[in-house]
A and B are shown apart, each in its own frame.
Chain A
Amino acid sequence: MIRESKFYLYLGLGVLAFSLVWLILVFFQIEGNIGSPGNSPRTVPFFLGCCMSILGVIFLYQYYLGYRPKISIKGVQNNEFRNVFFCIIVFLLYAFLLEWFGFLVSTPFILFVLSRFILKEKNWKFNLLFPVIITGSIYFIFIVLLHSTLPRGIFF
């Protein structure tokens, strides 16, 4: 649980660490010998990294002064990490399936898995119809109405 009094400490350290990583990347990933120092491709990213560092220091100073957020931050809820991680896996799995099997195969599959096994929907008619209706509607809108493209996949 995030204790209110430590909020600005964690935020400050996080922001500072991020800005330092950013500044290192700016030096290694962007050419700096083009144009004048005040007007090169590196200038703005470097300046932004410095701004972020300053903000990190401000948060640490706020912690030092004993500031608290105006509205208390909710602590980590039961199983929150597990559930969010699980949802992200579902997103990544769907993206992966789309890449390999295309829209028409992976969408009904992922919706069925979501509905039956994750959301624990017991009505079998719903479990079968819901994926088909959603897939069919999106296919109809993008392909038939808008003449757009949907992921085709490598196998299909």
Chain B
Amino acid sequence: MIESLIAALQLTTTFEVFIAIVIGSFVGIIFGAIPGLTYSMALALMLPFTFSMQPATGISLLLATYIGGMTGGSISAILIGIPGTPSAAATVADGYAMSKKGEASLALGSAVIVSTIGGLLSLIVMILLVDFISKFAIKFGPAEIFMLVLFGFSTICGLAERSLFRGLVAGVLGLMLMTIGLDELEGTSRLTFGNVQMLQGVNLLVAMIGLFAVPHILEVFHQKLNNEDKENFNIGDVKTTLPGFSFIKKYFNLMLRCTGLGTSIGAIPGSGGPIAAFLAYAHAKNSEKNVEERAKFGNGNVAGVVAPETANNAVTGGAMVPLLSLGIPGDPATAIILGGLLIHGIIPGPMLFIENAPAVYSIYIAIVFSYVAVFFMQVNFIKYIVKILKVKPHHLACGILVMVVVGSYVIRNSFLDVYTMIFMGLIGYFFNRIQIPVTPIVLGLVLGETLESNYRTAMSLSSGDITIFFSSVTTLLFFSLIVLTIALQVKTRVLDIKKQKTILQENE
């Protein structure tokens, strides 16, 4: 372990990694802070840059972008009352109220310090859990892995958005896209229409760039062409005032509880920051015994900033647990990070600890460095960061347009990828309009190969006997969980419909 740790330190304490973390944190904060841009988009745009980097540098860039994005969402939530990311939505109520009372500096300072503490505490939990789960998962055979991935997939489709079936449509579409190209097991072409370039299949990164970045560009240009320009945000000079030690002491208990909550929710594939932040906010409010303090929630109570910001940053550690231990990404951001890891030959899963332990420790160290960098930037450069909020969205969209086209090309030096990216962008835009989540498409593309290869390996091992998927306690457990997830979703939907009908009848 010590040897791996030293090797990881050697990999991550280089000038290139330092620069990558600084740039990643900056880009993440900016994309997190600007409403409309997301850190998933930032990650998708940063991916092409990592190809020619060393693995540690590339992964550090992605992790810093992720962490910067998660933390940066609070800036616009506090200063203008619009959350930069969905995860920061719970911060708006009290953060913006503090701003209106002239306490923006304190709100920003509180947010940045609790974000860092929450993130670092969740890292500790993550290290312990990843190790434990990996030791357990290493005994899994193809049938168990198939069932596990299927469970992760059903959870993501079910929990990611409002409708299980719409989530499933997107998930199945992702799996379908994954099957296009060369079948690696038999070496035959699938749905390539005789095109040699199509044998490479739909590239995951190209799909992600298209799905996350293109719909935003289309939306911004559509608004601009319709002369529906959004007004620039009017933000005066701001600075970050860090609260004292007494503040940390006062809220440490709350931070610990919210970290636990955030990490646990983050570890469930398909949940994520917004759920954790709102639950933490509700918890902080309900657990406040002082009636006067409780009444202040929504009117500028600093605990209303502490709880959601701790929880949504703790999600980053939690989301890395299934990613590193099982190779299952929990949200779009970790799916993109998984794509980045795979490019550099780092295959997450239980074997990662045996085959490439320094890579795991490099990830841990990069997360710590990223939090330090984000903290430093938010404290010292906040007045410059908020200036970028004033850039017109259509100017940013022009830059992003060039980036997505060039980024898609450099992945495999193929123009077919550029056209695929545009096509995926159209799908993303259309799905956004009819409220079908795009995250399951990405997860279908990411998990599809594992799902199919393990299914076919298990079937080969059992000579075509499908009962292999129900022959062990583990597979049965995962199967029960899949059924339970779907049943819960269906039950919730049926109850919703009954409620709708009752309201309609009452109105009549």
Contact = CB atoms under 8 A, between A and B. Distances in A.
Nearest to B224: A119
B291 interface: no
Q: Is the interface of B mostly helix, strand, loop or mixed?
A: helix
A121 B422 CA distance: 25
B176 A52 contact: yes
B249 interface: no
B186 A29 contact: no
B410 A39 contact: no
A134 to B, nearest CB: 5
Interface size class of A (residues with CB under 8 A): 35 or more
A35 B455 CA distance: 14
A88 interface: yes
B226 A78 contact: yes
Contacts of A34: 186, 188
A146 B395 CA distance: 25
Contacts of A111: 398, 402
Contacts of B464: 36, 38-39
Given A2-B434, A99-B415, A67 B422 contact: no
Contacts of A35: 186
A48 B415 contact: no
A58 B186 contact: no
Name A's interface SS: helix
Nearest to B51: A148
B293 interface: no
B191 A45 contact: yes
A147 B179 CA distance: 33
A74 B433 contact: yes
A63 interface: no
A3 B197 CA distance: 41
A50 to B, nearest CB: 10
B201 to A, nearest CB: 12
A151 B176 contact: no
A98 B25 CA distance: 31
Contact of B175 (A11, A48, A73, A86): A48
A77 B226 contact: yes
A45 B190 contact: yes
B312 to A, nearest CB: 23
A97 B200 CA distance: 24
Contact of A83 (B191, B226, B455): B226
A86 B496 CA distance: 40
A51 B496 CA distance: 25
B218 A148 contact: no
A92 B422 contact: yes
5 pairs of A and B residues whose beta carbons are closest in the complex: A41-B183, A39-B459, A83-B222, A146-B52, A95-B418
Given A91-B401, A103-B406, 5 more contacts: A36-B464, A43-B456, A70-B162, A149-B413, A151-B415
16 contacts: A11-B166, A25-B191, A29-B192, A34-B186, A39-B459, A39-B464, A44-B179, A49-B176, A55-B172, A69-B163, A91-B401, A94-B402, A95-B419, A99-B415, A130-B395, A151-B415
